[in-house]
Each structure stands twice: as structure tokens, then as C-alpha cells.
């Protein structure tokens, strides 16, 4: 069957990891893939996760299937993270949450759900966006379009272009947003800008879909949910895809959730019924372990506090590496203003490095950066920061 079929291209980011792994040079540095690393260059298991797993090992009594929508305790925890401890949406039962395999699974469940009821919609993605957004929504059968987002000249959001584009999107289309820590640019919307976007959504009638893969990696767990809060307060329909890969370090446990928010509890019940039919035919019911770990942590005040501390440590290490990179380049007299790297949020930065520089760094210094110049700041450590700054300074000389 496969003899006359051309092989598919490797995933560009995961392909870079493969090349990095095969590179024997001990000085090699991976600034590519989107995984958090500590100062020793390891992707750690959080101590709160280890503690929760210990409890689960003692308490777990069955490996029988979860419900189609997943563990209800987990869904309640996800809703508290999204809407706050006393969220009106939760009190009024306006949210339907299903446990999904990772943020990617949540996006795909959302896409399949929407395709059933909005078959003619176009999905609008930020320019640029995470490459897999295109794959997920195109595979679900949607035509794609882009709205203006990042301006390479100002290294900031092109807010005039963004509002112009959002105002021209027709009712019945779907608009995907990065709730915080925009991937790949690192450039986020501020609170006033989110309020304007909610107003445009209300006026124009398109459906907002929030991708929330980095809650707590921007400013903090509470601050980062500002956009969710504003859309919740608007009373509009919207969706949120949560991922706990990064903020709980549960990458391989595939832990995420899709939450559909509706104006009323009655509508939310209908949404949940259709969510279950979507999940049933893709994976029947979700993998349990990651969700149980997350729910155990979030339901226990001590573990919850420990998680917030460990999450803050990850966030603050990335912020420190942003400063170290900018200060290191300035100290080496590299021409240009790199202060924008300090203003960006989350794990990623559009570094401003050209594709030629990216190629030079890989060929001559074994430093791996994704094409387009996206850097994962978490790949920097106190041990390799000088090596990387020296290399970039030389490349740009």
C-alpha cells in the first residue's frame, strides 16, 4: 500500500529535537522545543506531582473507565482555575468541561464539536500562531484565515491591525486567541486590549475560542485568566482549551480540558450532551492519571500551595533568563535594542534572529533555534548563557 506514497514531512519543531539528540557535541544547546527545563537543563517532575502520585497509589481502588467527560472532581478543579474560587459561571452552571488528552486534544474536541453546528464557519488564527493550530482546525474541516497580531517592526502587538481585522470578521465565524504567553511571539494583549476585543466579539457576533496552554507562566495563575474572566462576564458563548502540560509539568500524561461556556445552564447541559458524543467516537473516555494528579493537587490546600510555589519558580527562572540574555548581549556590545525580550511573557520569544543567523548558530555553535527565530528561554541555564550570548554576538558581528 505505501510503496507509491510519498512520506510526510517531519514535524518542524519535533524534527529539531531529533537533530539535537543526535548531535554529539557536549556544548550543544536546545532553544527549540516548547518544554520547560530547570537550571540543570532537565524537565523536572514537580514535587507536588510526586506527592500526589504517592497519595494516588495508596488511594486508587480501580482502573475502570472514567465517564466520557472524565472525572467530575477534575472538571470542577479546572473550572475553579478558569473562573476563580467563587466564579459566577460555576455558580450558575454555565460551563461544560470535558477532560481531554492534553491541550491539543481539547482543541480537537472543540473543533469537532463546532464543525457539527457551524459547518460553514472559517477559523481565524493570529498571525503568527502555533503551527499545530492550523493542522488541528484544517483537519477538522475548517477553512482558515489570519488576523493581524504581531508587528515585527515594533516587536509588539499590531493592535490597530488586529481590531481592524476582528471588526471585519462575520458573525458565525470562529476566532482563536492565545489567552496568555503567545506562542511563538511571547507578546501578549494587555487588559484594556482584551476588554476592547470582548466588545468587538459582542458587536460582531463571532465565536471566541481561547487556547490556554500556559496559565501561570505569564504573570500568575489569577492574572493570566483575565481574558477568560472578561469573556465570562460578557455572557457570550465561548470555548476554552486548557493544557496542564506546562504548568504541572505533566507533558506525557496528556492532561487538558475543553470548557464550553454558555449564557445559561440549560444551554450548557445541551453543550455537554454533544461534547460527550464528540469524545465517544474519538477516544471514548480520557486517560485518568494526569487528571487525577491535577485534581489531587488542587483539592488539597497544602499541595495547592506547593504547586503555586513551584509554578512561580519556573516562571521566575524564565524571567531571569530573559534578563540574563538581554544584559549579556548588551554587555558584549551587540548593536540593537533587545529590551523587548524582557517585556515578552511565557517560555517563548521572537528573538529577532534571522533565518541566516539561526542556521549559523546551528552549524557553527550547535545551538538549535526554530526557523523564524523563536527561542525557548527555558533552554538557557546559568551554565550555557555566556556561551549562547558569545555565539549570538559573533553571529551578528
Annotated catalytic residues are: 130, 211, 246
The helix-helix angle for 289-299 and 301-331 (nearest 10°) equals: 100
User: x/- binding map, residues 182-211, to ligand PMP, per CB under 6 A?
Assistant: -x---------------------------x
With CB under 6 A as the contact rule, which of the stretches 97-105, 160-168, 169-177, 295-303 interacts with ligand PMP? 97-105
Query: In terms of CB distance, is 201 or 250 closer to ligand PMP?
Result: 250
Quickly count: other Cβ atoms within 10 Å of residue 268's Cβ.
22
Nearer to ligand PMP, 52 or 213 (CB): 213
Task: Kindly identify the residues of this chain, within the stretch 292-321, that bind ligand PMP according to CB under 6 A.
Answer: none
Among 20, 124, 130, 194, binds ligand PMP (CB under 6 A): 130
The reply to whether 104 sits near ligand PMP by the rule CB under 6 A is yes
- The nearest distance, CB 100 to ligand PMP, in angstroms, is 9
Residues whose CB is less than 8 angstroms from the CB of residue 66 and which lie 6 or more positions away in sequence, other chains included:
99, 285, 286, 288, 291
The residue count for binding ligand PMP (CB under 6 A) is 12
Question: Following DSSP, what letter does each residue of 296-325 receive, concatenated?
Answer: HHHHSHHHHHHHHHHHHHHHHHHHHHHHHH
Binding flag, residue 344, ligand PMP (CB under 6 A): no
Helical H segments across the chain, by residue range: 12-21, 47-59, 72-83, 88-91, 102-117, 131-139, 159-168, 191-204, 226-234, 265-282, 289-299, 301-331, 340-343, 355-365, 385-396
In the shown chain, the binding pattern of residues 220 to 259 toward ligand PMP, with x for contact by CB under 6 A and - for none, equals -----------------------x-x----------x---
- Whole-number minimum distance, CB 111 to ligand PMP, in Å? 12
> What are the helix (H) ranges across 27-130?
47-59, 72-83, 88-91, 102-117
Asked if 34 interacts with ligand PMP (CB under 6 A), we say yes
> Does the N-terminal peptide bond of residue 323 adopt cis geometry, omega within 30 degrees of 0?
no
CB atoms within 10 A of CB 45: 12
Q: Which of 32, 102, 110, 128 binds ligand PMP (CB under 6 A)?
A: 102
Q: Please state the closest distance from residue 339 (CB atom) to ligand PMP, in A.
A: 24
Residue 293, CA atoms < 13 Å, CB-side half-sphere: 25
Using CB under 6 A as the binding rule, the residues of this chain from 40 to 79 that contact ligand PMP are none
Residues interacting with ligand PMP, by CB under 6 A? Answer: 34, 102-104, 130, 178, 183, 211, 213, 243, 245, 256
Amino acid at each position: 500500500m505505501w510503496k507509491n506514497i510519498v512520506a510526510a514531512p517531519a514535524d518542524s519543531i519535533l524534527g529539531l529535537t531529533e537533530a539535537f539528540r543526535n548531535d554529539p557535541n557536549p556544548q550543544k544547546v536546545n532553544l527549540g522545543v516548547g518544554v520547560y527545563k530547570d537550571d540543570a537543563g532537565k524537565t523536572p517532575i514537580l514535587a507536588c506531582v510526586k506527592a500526589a502520585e504517592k497519595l494516588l497509589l495508596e488511594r486508587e481502588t480501580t482502573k475502570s473507565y472514567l465517564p466520557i467527560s472524565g472525572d467530575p472532581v477534575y472538571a470542577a478543579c479546572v473550572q475553579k482555575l478558569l473562573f476563580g474560587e467563587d466564579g459566577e459561571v460555576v455558580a450558575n452552571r454555565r460551563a461544560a468541561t470535558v477532560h481531554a488528552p492534553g491541550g491539543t486534544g481539547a482543541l480537537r474536541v472543540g473543533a469537532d464539536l463546532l464543525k457539527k453546528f457551524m459547518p460553514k464557519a472559517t477559523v481565524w488564527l493570529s498571525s503568527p500562531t502555533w503551527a499545530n493550530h492550523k493542522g488541528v482546525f484544517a483537519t477538522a474541516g475548517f477553512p482558515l484565515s489570519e488576523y493581524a497580531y504581531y508587528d515585527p517592526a515594533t516587536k509588539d502587538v499590531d493592535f490597530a491591525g488586529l481590531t481592524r481585522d476582528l471588526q471585519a470578521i462575520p458573525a458565525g465565524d470562529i476566532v482563536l486567541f492565545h489567552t496568555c504567553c503567545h506562542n511563538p511571539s511571547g507578546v501578549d494583549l494587555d487588559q484594556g486590549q482584551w476588554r476592547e476585543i470582548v466588545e468587538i466579539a459582542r458587536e460582531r457576533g463571532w465565536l471566541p475560542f481561547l487556547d490556554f496552554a500556559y496559565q501561570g507562566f505569564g504573570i500568575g495563575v489569577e492574572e493570566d485568566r483575565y481574558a477568560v474572566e472578561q469573556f465570562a462576564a460578557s455572557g457570550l458563548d465561548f470555548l476554552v482549551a486548557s493544557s496542564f502540560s506546562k504548568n504541572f509539568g505533566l507533558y506525557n500524561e496528556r492532561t487538558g480540558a475543553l470548557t464550553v461556556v454558555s449564557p445559561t445552564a440549560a444551554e450548557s447541559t445541551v453543550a455537554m450532551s454533544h461534547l460527550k458524543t464528540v469524545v465517544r467516537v474519538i477516544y471514548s473516555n480520557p486517560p485518568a492519571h494526569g487528571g487525577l494528579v491535577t485534581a489531587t493537587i488542587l483539592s488539597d490546600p497544602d499541595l495547592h500551595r506547593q504547586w503555586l510555589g513551584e509554578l512561580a519558580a519556573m516562571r521566575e527562572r524564565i524571567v531571569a533568563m530573559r534578563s540574563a540574555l538581554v544584559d549579556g548581549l548588551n554587555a558584549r556590545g551587540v548593536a540593537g535594542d533587545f529590551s523587548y525580550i524582557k517585556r515578552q511573557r511565557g517560555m517563548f520569544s521572537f528573538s529577532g534572529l534571522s533565518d541566516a543567523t539561526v542556521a549559523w548558530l546551528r552549524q557553527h555553535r550547535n545551538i538549535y533555534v526554530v526557523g523564524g527565530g523563536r527561542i525557548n528561554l527555558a533552554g538557557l541555564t546559568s551554565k550555557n548563557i555566556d556561551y549562547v550570548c558569545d555565539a549570538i554576538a559573533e553571529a551578528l558581528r
